[in-house]
Chain A
Amino acid sequence: MVLSILQGKYELNPAMNIQIQSDIDFDYDKKYSIRGENGSGKSSFVRNILYKSVSKNCKGKVQYIYFDQEILSQYYYVKAYVSMKEHKKINTISAFITKTIELHKANNIYNSNKLIIILDETDKYIDTTEVLALIADYECVFINISHSTNDNLKYDRIIEINKIDDNNATLKIK
């Protein structure tokens, strides 16, 4: 087990709490899908709970890639980095996603083929199967956030977030 989020009540943002009904364990070579309606708190859960947990527990041990829903800042950041370092241009968000994964593979800091990858609705820009093909030779914890039901990938776990009212949401594992 790479990462675990314990059951309990967590703050998603100052106005909303989430009740995680059972412990969530994340393992290598497993695919996880986080699903829920628009505004149910999927992205807030990933940004404020999951990413923080990854950053806290995995920094210095495992490389991780997280594509936030508000992807523009990351896009311009990598664009500037690549143009400075490699004198190359990145012109699309899909190219940025591909380049970021390639950068992580090229800078294999911990000399391992392990990776945690979190995609927050990146299917708007790039096909998820393309991302999976890029990391095929890696042992990954693959987490995909999507509200689309036409996601045909086979997942090992489906994490469902449901909004109860304006201030509360629940998280269940299917």
Chain B
Amino acid sequence: MQLSKSNRATLKIISLVIVAIALLWLICYKYVSNIPFQIGYLIVANIIYATIFKPKANLKLWRIWYKKMIFLLVVNLLFAYLDIQFHLYDKLSHQIDKSIDFYHKMDHLEYHKQSIARIFLTLMNTILTLDAIILLISFSDLVLLPIGIEVKKKILFFRSIFNFLTEKVKLNDVVTDTIPEYQFYSKRNKFLDFKFLFKRNLISIFTMLKLVTEQSVILGQLIDNKITHSNFNKNGDKK
């Protein structure tokens, strides 16, 4: 028995959603503290991602996220330095033998090492998995889904915004160079001028928000126009 295009698309989307839930359950719950598993998953996921979407796409994803990872690392190193522990997700704290100072110190270091690795790996694995699953669901699959147009148009809208965001998530040099102060930035070498960096990043965030809002309005209108064009005649009656 041969499946229709619509059934095939539905089956593909359901399978991908199930796979996503299963993988996220493994990464974020079952093996959340299992560092070797997380490292293994990260390596395998990167290889699969690079194979399916080309190494360039994989590199782009890393380029987008590495700064956030470094920031996260700095914050967690600060937590480690101040020895701030989060007992909510801390399983190691129960194993600490607090009666011996030496081990107490060692275990704290171990705790923070594990904590940093866990946060970094879990986050990157989740991003890789979600990104790959969303990219595997194409627009034609979504169009073929046997659901009402009201729901379908919202799904298509969010899928389009996702595409826009992954393409534009980082403002390129052309944009930042427009401001003379920022064009000069690399020359000034003000890496630790936090006020300067904060302002520059805040402007980037405002710009991104404005771009996404603008794009959402245009996309929403485009999708609505397309639906009207395909389903209704000039008199507004259904075709």
Return chain A residues, CB-CB under 8 Å to B183. Answer: 59, 63-64, 109
A41 to chain B, nearest CB (A): 17
A65/B178 in contact, CB under 8 A = yes
Q: Does B211 contact A (CB under 8 A)?
A: yes
B177/A109 in contact, CB under 8 A = no
Return chain A residues, CB-CB under 8 Å to B29. Answer: none
A107/B202 in contact, CB under 8 A = no
> In the complex, what distance in Å separates the CA atom of A59 from the CA atom of B210?
28
Which of A20-28, A66-74, A157-165 touches B? Answer: A66-74
Query: Residue-by-residue, is B199-211 near A (CB-CB < 8 Å gives 1, otherwise 0)?
Result: 1001110110011
Query: Residue-by-residue, is A53-69 near B (CB-CB < 8 Å gives 1, otherwise 0)?
Result: 00100011001111010
A73/B186 in contact, CB under 8 A = no
- Chain B contact residue count (CB 8 A cutoff): 24
Query: Residue-by-residue, is A99-111 near B (CB-CB < 8 Å gives 1, otherwise 0)?
Result: 0100110010100
> In the complex, what distance in Å separates the CA atom of A112 from the CA atom of B111?
56
B67-91 residues at the A interface, CB under 8 angstroms: none
Q: A77-B171, A84-B199 are in contact. Are A72 and B181 (CB under 8 A)?
A: no
Return chain A residues, CB-CB under 8 Å to B211. Answer: 72-73, 76
Q: A59-B186, A84-B202 are in contact. Are A77 and B180 (CB under 8 A)?
A: no
Q: A65-B178, A103-B179 are in contact. Are A76 and B207 (CB under 8 A)?
A: yes
Return chain B residues, CB-CB under 8 Å to A72. Answer: 211, 214
Return chain A residues, CB-CB under 8 Å to B207. Answer: 73, 76-77, 80
Query: Residue-by-residue, is B159-178 near A (CB-CB < 8 Å gives 1, otherwise 0)?
Result: 00000000010010111111
> In the complex, what distance in Å separates the CA atom of A47 from the CA atom of B174?
8
B128-162 residues at the A interface, CB under 8 angstroms: none
Residue in B closest to A96 when the chains form the complex, CB atoms: B178
SS class, residues of chain B in contact with chain A: helix
Q: Does B191 contact A (CB under 8 A)?
A: no
B214/A74 in contact, CB under 8 A = no
Q: Does A78 contact B (CB under 8 A)?
A: yes
Return chain A residues, CB-CB under 8 Å to B173. Answer: 55
Return chain B residues, CB-CB under 8 Å to A74. Answer: 174-175, 178
Q: Does A125 contact B (CB under 8 A)?
A: no
A73/B175 in contact, CB under 8 A = yes
A59/B187 in contact, CB under 8 A = yes
Q: Does A81 contact B (CB under 8 A)?
A: yes
Q: Does A51 contact B (CB under 8 A)?
A: yes
B167 to chain A, nearest CB (A): 11
**What are 22 A-B residue pairs whose CB atoms fall within 8 Å in the complex?**
A47-B174, A55-B173, A59-B186, A66-B177, A68-B174, A72-B211, A74-B175, A76-B210, A76-B211, A77-B175, A77-B178, A77-B179, A78-B178, A80-B206, A80-B207, A80-B210, A81-B179, A84-B199, A100-B178, A107-B180, A107-B184, A109-B183
Q: A51-B174, A109-B183 are in contact. List 19 more A-B contacts (CB 8 A).
A: A55-B173, A55-B177, A63-B180, A73-B171, A73-B174, A74-B174, A76-B206, A76-B210, A76-B211, A77-B179, A78-B178, A78-B179, A80-B203, A81-B179, A84-B203, A104-B180, A107-B180, A107-B184, A109-B184
